């Protein structure tokens, strides 16, 4: 999450096929590591991204023509980074707004959009927002994160009510200093759990009615 938008980390391919196109970070699984260890190692080694708050398998992509030449099957994962993390990335790597992706290699654009839909779905019925938010946040800041991920404006009051009812939020007793205009200091919250949990299996966040 950067600049109020949901973003994906992409890097330029240095080899054919699709030389120079933007692609998702990836690589091969070593014989002595599990998949999540491999993901974290490669992101650390290649783009200096160390603070992943959540990782989960997204899907297997196996279309025969997804990659030119010999068939390649890929397993994609969704990895989430808190909005306050600013990793130092190499020159060939950059954050891109998911709604306005550049031309990508292979099927990496559709993989990214698939990950966005998974995130939007899980924001409805789990506490996965913990992986997008800093450790401490105001409700208005959390509202902005949910709005950016869901693609529509969320009510801060409704969001607080829903997440509190589900037991996802915890008060800290702390506040942020008031701005120059004064006013009541905003309370700081945290997520009650920092691992993904299903909080309401039948819940669905819906955009506000246009009628």
Write the pLDDT tens digit of every residue in 53-77: 999 999 999 999 999 999 999 999 9
Average pLDDT over residues 180-188: 82
Non-local (6+) Cβ contacts of 179 within 8 A are none
Ranges of H-type helices in 48-150:
108-125, 139-150
Confidence of residue 27 (pLDDT cuts 50, 70, 90): confident
Confidence of residue 48 (pLDDT cuts 50, 70, 90): confident
CA distances 134 to 54, 159, 194, Å, are 13, 17, 11
Rounded Cα distance between 106 and 196, Å, is 31
Question: pLDDT at position 144, please?
Answer: 97
Average pLDDT over residues 149-153: 95
In tens, the pLDDT along 100-135 reads: 999 999 999 999 999 999 999 999 999 999 999 999
27 and 89 within one domain: yes
Is the per-residue pLDDT at 83 higher than 70?
A: yes
In a domain, 209, yes or no: no
CA distances 196 to 92, 114, 147, Å, are 32, 19, 19
Average pLDDT over residues 185-206: 93
Among 33-37, 121-125, 175-179, the range scoring the smallest mean pLDDT is 175-179
In a domain, 200, yes or no: no
Is the per-residue pLDDT at 137 higher than 70?
A: yes
Q: Which of 105, 124, 143 is the last residue of a domain?
A: 124
Average pLDDT over residues 28-40: 91
Q: What is the CATH classification number for the domain harbouring 178?
A: 1.10.10.10
Could you list the residue range(s) of the whole structural domain that residue 118 is in? 7-124
Is the per-residue pLDDT at 186 higher than 80?
A: yes
Q: Which of 124, 157, 180 is the last residue of a domain?
A: 124
Report the number of distinct structural domains present in the chain. 2
Question: pLDDT at position 131, please?
Answer: 97
Is the per-residue pLDDT at 49 higher than 90?
A: no
Among 5-19, 101-115, 177-191, the range scoring the smallest mean pLDDT is 177-191
Rounded Cα distance between 133 and 85, Å, is 10
Q: What is the CATH classification number for the domain harbouring 71?
A: 3.90.79.10
Rounded Cα distance between 192 and 200, Å, is 15
- Range among 35-39, 87-91, 100-104 with highest mean pLDDT value: 100-104
Is the per-residue pLDDT at 191 higher than 70?
A: yes
Is the per-residue pLDDT at 182 higher than 70?
A: no
């Amino acid at each position: 999450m950067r600049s109020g938008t949901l973003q994906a980390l992409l890097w330029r391919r240095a080899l054919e096929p699709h030389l120079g196109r933007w692609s998702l970070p990836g690589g091969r699984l070593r014989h002595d590591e599990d998949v999540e260890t491999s993901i974290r190692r490669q992101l650390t080694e290649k783009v200096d991204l160390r603070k992943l708050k959540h990782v989960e398998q997204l899907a297997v992509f196996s279309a025969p023509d997804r990659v030119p030449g010999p068939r390649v099957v890929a397993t994609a994962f969704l990895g989430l980074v808190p909005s306050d993390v600013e990793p130092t990335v190499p020159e060939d790597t950059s954050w891109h707004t998911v709604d306005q992706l550049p031309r990508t290699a292979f099927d990496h654009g559709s993989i990214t959009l698939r990950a966005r839909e998974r995130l939007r779905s899980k924001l409805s019925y789990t506490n996965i927002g913990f992986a997008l938010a800093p450790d401490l946040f105001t409700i208005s800041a959390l509202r902005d994160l949910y709005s950016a991920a869901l693609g529509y404006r969320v009510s801060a009051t409704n969001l607080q009510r829903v997440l509190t009812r589900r037991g996802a939020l915890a008060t800290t007793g702390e506040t942020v200093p008031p701005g120059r205009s004064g006013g009541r200091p905003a309370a700081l919250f945290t997520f009650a759990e920092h691992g993904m949990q299903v909080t309401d299996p039948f819940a669905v966040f819906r955009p506000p009615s246009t009628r």
